[in-house]
Amino acid sequence: MTKTKTAEMTAAAETVRGNIPLLQKSGEHYLDNAATALMPQTVLQAVANYNAETRANVGRGLHNFAEAADEQFAQARATVAAALSAKNDEIVFTSGATAGLNLLANALGQTVAKNGAVALSLGEHHSNIVPWQIAARRGGFAIRFFRLAPNGAADLEEARRIIRGASVVAVAHAYNVSGAVNDISALAQIAKENGAKFVVDGAQYIPHGFAAPEKLGADFYVFSGHKCYAPNGIGVLWGRKKSLAELPDAIGGGGSITEVCEKGFSAAEPPRRLEAGTPPISQTAGLAAAIAWMQNIPQAAKENARNLAQSAREELAKIPGARVLFSGGGENAPNVPIVSFVVEGAHPHDCCQILAERGVAVRGGHHCAQPLMRALGISGCVRASFAPYNNDKDLRALVAAAKEAAHILRR
């Protein structure tokens, strides 16, 4: 990489960093972005503006505040739809990816025969495992798992075998431990060949680049706002219009119906039918602002985050006793900037504590991926995750603190 390119990436990252108030107030080396990304000023302001100027519920209100809230809510839906190359009525607001996956498991689980199956990968977050297991208990169907390849992505050959005969396939677009990006189009084709509905968990992918779920072949796609610079408590469920309309009723309440009587109810059309109750209105304002901000992140800053992650893999692997779990596949591999590692004989929480004492914020444990941890023969690991506002100082601090942790914990 040329000095000019490196300088360009560094400058871009510093520009992005300047938009994050929390980083201006703190000397923390924040590398826990895969859990929660930090919010830029424009997002903080959007949420504050709603609460200060527009605060009202959406739907059915005729006063000025309610009409302003309706307009803002509709615009937020349009902003999300445009980012996903989708239609407005294909966007369902939820409280997060977990809520979206629970909704889908509850609904699609009703369509799986007792002798049927749902296929998942071993790399899934618990939020894309447990809801299907709950549905399987009710419906009496099986859950099948296919393993990951050495590069940390889904093993497509085994996936082809495991998916055969399944009614639903649910898989992450990018994994929260390996950072590997799955070949979603290939998995979608396998699901289609088997007549299975295809659900994609985009929680770890969307922070690094918008997807066009329909073009990828997905039937449903979910993601969370708090991982892409938006507030907590907001998520998105995208579905093909036909797929949303065919979902069995899974939730109910105000806003999701057209009529209720003593004998039953009539459901509204999607997306309203899937948005029972008061929606996360201020959070949608923040999500729309976050998406607008993300669309202006320089490509060089995104490249810098990936470059930092690859350098972290290489430097951490040199530390005696440290082991990087996945290689990342090299500089041009389709990975999000996540690096997971273990220190032999040390608990990941002890490693994280030592790093935290040195101002390095990472995450340790099983990362809601216990099936994967068992497959790897470990109980947990340390995860560093980079964002476009991270810089070389963050990388150097991570490596230096990890060296100290390995030295202290392996004595």
Q: Is the peptide bond before 298 cis (omega within 30 degrees of 0)?
A: no
Polymer length in residues for the chain = 411
- Dmax over Cα atoms in the chain, in whole Å? 72
Q: Show the tokens assigned to 328.
A: 């990342």
Other beta carbons less than 10 A from residue 239's beta carbon: 29
What count of Cα atoms within 13 Å lies in the side-chain half-sphere of residue 302? 15
Catalytic choice (261, 352, 368, 381): 368
Whole-angstrom distance, CA of residue 372 vs CA of residue 153: 12
Whole-angstrom distance, CA of residue 94 vs CA of residue 271: 11
Q: Show the tokens assigned to 256.
A: 């999701």
Whole-angstrom distance, CA of residue 290 vs CA of residue 19: 12
Let me know if 368 is a catalytic residue: yes
Q: What share of the chain is helix, strand, coil (3-state, %, to 5)?
A: 45, 15, 35
Other beta carbons less than 10 A from residue 266's beta carbon: 9
Q: Show the tokens assigned to 311.
A: 């350098």
Residues whose CB falls within 8 Å of the CB of residue 399, separated by 6 or more in sequence, listed in order:
312, 315, 316, 319
Residues whose CB falls within 8 Å of the CB of residue 168, separated by 6 or more in sequence, listed in order:
108, 111, 112, 118, 119, 132, 196, 197, 198, 199
Whole-angstrom distance, CA of residue 136 vs CA of residue 402: 42
Dihedral sign for Cα atoms in the order 260, 266, 269, 275? positive
Taking each helix axis from N to C terminus, what angle separates 348-357 and 392-409, rounded to the nearest 10 degrees? 130
334 burial (CB, 10 Å; 0-12 / 13-18 / 19+) is: middle
Residues known to be catalytic: 368
